[in-house]
Structure 1
Amino acid sequence: MSWSDKGQQVRGLLLKTDWYLCFGIVFLLCVLIGLTTAALKLNEVLNDADALPIEAVAIKGERKYTADAEIQVALQDLMQRSFVSADVNQVQKALEALPWVYQASVRREWPAKLKVYLVEQTPVAHWNGDAWLNMYGDVFDAPTKQGIPSLPLLTGPEEQGQAVLTTYQQLGELLTINGFALQSLSLSARHAWHAKLKSGIELELGREDNMARIQRFIDVYPRLASQDKKVGVVDLRYDTGLAVDWDDAQKESR
């Protein structure tokens, strides 16, 4: 075979190889285009609220202060999304932003339902007049609702909510087992405690030894009650004794 024949044979093989290569590249491009188109179409369908709407939201958990209407308003914008594109974390945040919701958990249930479990705030005290303390001592702001029981009035520096609640519970338990009821407790900016009983008696407790001073009041109260006067304020900020302001004396001085 001459060099000319060999050259023609090589050129034929190269042309054939180029043809296969071009065909392979075109086929690969067609496959890629097809996959991209399918992915875009699938993404469009998954994000189409008309094609895959959220058909229902099931709310569970005991609710006293959060109405269905409040939940509907909170989820109004999110419900315009498709079932797949709805972000459950955003749904959770929207629900937990409601004033009386303490915690919310959200999960999808195929084919088109969101399941929500709500835990409401449990108020245990009024805090600084216009806020509340929950059972964990956390401060939260929420409007007053019907059905909220009578709660103690607690006041103090904003960051001391849990400490004031804990002290209230400790003092309240000691007073209750001895026949008294604690109505309010306040902590001043200088960390001095002031308590008021439901009977109207006020107790100045100072900065320390609260339990011991409450016990001193309990021990001496029978003697105070035997007087033909009404107890107004009992100052227990002494190491061993106490001072009494009689309610009648206060009225006479006014």
Structure 2
Amino acid sequence: MPVRSPHRRVAGNLGRAWVLHRTAILRGAGVVALLALAGLAYELRGPLAAGAAFMGDMAQARFADAGMAIGEISISGQTLTSEQDIFDALGIQPHTATTSFDVEAARQRIAALPAIDSVTVRKTYPGDVIVTVTEKVPVARWRVDGITFVVDATGAQIGEDGGAYGELPLVVGDGANDDALVMIRALDQYPELKTDLVALSRIADRRWDLIYDTGLRVQLPELGVARALRNLALYQSHYQLLDRDVTIIDLRVAHLVALRPAKTEADLEADRKAAEAALKRQLASSRPYPLPPPAHLSLPSQTTLTQ
């Protein structure tokens, strides 16, 4: 028998392999081809993305030139939210085509704004976009660090007070926003206590003070606020306590009312003279001693009423 050449032996082996394993070979070749295409697409991802964006811009320009560009935007329902913030959230650029404008994506961006409770976005052909928003309901103004915010029932900030919500109660201090609604609802039961009320001050995030325009401060307890308000309403009804010449009404101790009367002109003059005399004595003394408290820090005697 003649001896076969090496080339014929290799060809014969390949032929047998193709006959016996043709399916596996085809599958492997397909996998290799897909991997090669994926690698090529990864390497060309930048140019491909740029090309896709260019084609999209070209399509938008074509639609815009055909009279399908967004030309009018109608926004309604906003008070705390500025029109500029809503417009920015829409994401509409010059020559944006109505056909390519994503209504749902724009709606989600607007809904994420702090004061927005719900929003609808509609587009009408050939080039109108209509935005209708419903904002959260403000319940109080909260002043902290010199800035006044408007807060909702949960205490969340929904915008700065631009002067449009001056009728809302004013709460002051750290943590006042979180408990504002509870205190406001408690005061609503006693309208007579809200006359000339300027602010509700949160003290150490534990209790409340009522501050009136006369400078009167009513100190409420940490616990038993409802009882203290009820008693204060009775004192006002029977004794006009809020109209008296006092600077502090202390209700922090149950069954006890402590009053701090306002200083008269004679009291202020006496305090001033006492401070001047003390200063003269100290300057004349060879052994200095601490000065007494200034006149404006001296505490007058308290008048205490028991229930």
Q: TM-score, normalised by structure 2?
A: 0.54
Match of 2:97 in 1: 82
Whether the 8 Å CA contact 2:80–2:158 is kept in 1: the answer is: no
- Counterpart AA for 2:208: W
Structure 1: runs of 5+ lacking an equivalent = 1-39
1:149 is paired with a residue whose SS is coil
RMSD across aligned positions (CA): 3.7
- Counterpart AA for 2:245: K
| Cα distance change, pair 154–76 in 1 and its aligned pair in 2 (3 A) | same
Instruction: Give % identity.
Output: 20
| Cα distance change, pair 49–213 in 1 and its aligned pair in 2 (3 A) | farther
- Counterpart AA for 2:101: A
Count of residue pairs brought into register by the alignment: 209
Partners in 1 of 2:218 and 2:254 — Cα distance? 15
- Counterpart AA for 1:139: A
- Counterpart AA for 2:231: R
Partners in 1 of 2:163 and 2:173 — Cα distance? 26
Partners in 2 of 1:181 and 1:174 — Cα distance? 16
Alignment partner for residue 251 of structure 2, among 219, 236, 240? 236
Whether the 8 Å CA contact 1:201–1:233 is kept in 2: the answer is: yes
1:167 has 2:183 as partner: yes
| Cα distance change, pair 67–127 in 1 and its aligned pair in 2 (3 A) | closer
Partners in 1 of 2:227 and 2:104 — Cα distance? 49
Partners in 2 of 1:169 and 1:226 — Cα distance? 20
CA shift, 1:230, in A, is 0.7
CA shift, 1:69, in A, is 5.3
State the Cα deviation string for residues 159-210 of structure 1 (Å, max 9, x = none): x624222212322x13314673432113333512222234432111121111
CA shift, 1:233, in A, is 0.8
Whether the 8 Å CA contact 2:141–2:161 is kept in 1: the answer is: no
Match of 2:150 in 1: 133
Instruction: Name which one, 1 or 2, has greater alpha-carbon Rg.
Output: 2
1:242 is paired with a residue whose SS is strand
2:190 is paired with a residue whose SS is helix
| Cα distance change, pair 121–81 in 1 and its aligned pair in 2 (3 A) | same
| Cα distance change, pair 80–210 in 1 and its aligned pair in 2 (3 A) | farther
Whether the 8 Å CA contact 2:248–2:260 is kept in 1: the answer is: yes
Whether the 8 Å CA contact 1:127–1:155 is kept in 2: the answer is: yes
Q: TM-score, normalised by structure 1?
A: 0.64
| Cα distance change, pair 47–213 in 1 and its aligned pair in 2 (3 A) | farther
Partners in 2 of 1:223 and 1:84 — Cα distance? 72
Match of 1:203 in 2: 218
Partners in 1 of 2:159 and 2:152 — Cα distance? 15
Match of 1:180 in 2: 195
Alignment partner for residue 132 of structure 2, among 81, 93, 117? 117
Q: How does 1:208-223 map to 2 (within 5 A)?
A: 208-221=223-236, 222-223=238-239
Taking CA–CA contacts closer than 8 Å with sequence separation of 6 or more, which of the two structures ends up with the larger relative contact order? 1
Alignment partner for residue 60 of structure 2, among 17, 38, 48? 48
Whether the 8 Å CA contact 1:47–1:85 is kept in 2: the answer is: no
- Counterpart AA for 1:128: R
